[in-house]
Amino acid sequence: MDMQEKIKLVLDQVRPMLQRDGGDIEYVDYLEEEKVLLVRLRGACFGCPMSTYTIKGVVEQAIKNEIPDIAEVRLVK
């Protein structure tokens, strides 16, 4: 399984929580050299004042727990 597939599996685990609030998350890219995952929030999550917490406190933690090689999750618009 390649890195993109692993990442998408973890994103699928956090997706239901976001969807309950009317939002979603989209895989954008993985910057291998920097070990940074780029994601985009959709729906109600896009522009939400809690989006920083969602990315850092929920998504990044879930990703790092499952894929320790990833150093950071960044939100892109």
Q: What is the pTM of this model?
A: 0.92
Question: d(Cα 73, Cα 55) in Å, to the nearest integer?
Answer: 7
Q: ∠ CA 10-60-76 to the nearest 5 degrees? A: 100
Tens-digit pLDDT profile for residues 6-39: 999 999 999 999 999 899 999 999 999 999 999 9
The confidence score (pLDDT) of residue 55 equals 92
Question: d(Cα 26, Cα 23) in Å, to the nearest integer?
Answer: 10
Q: Where in the chain are the domains?
A: 3-75
* Domain 3-75 of CATH type 3.40.50.720: no
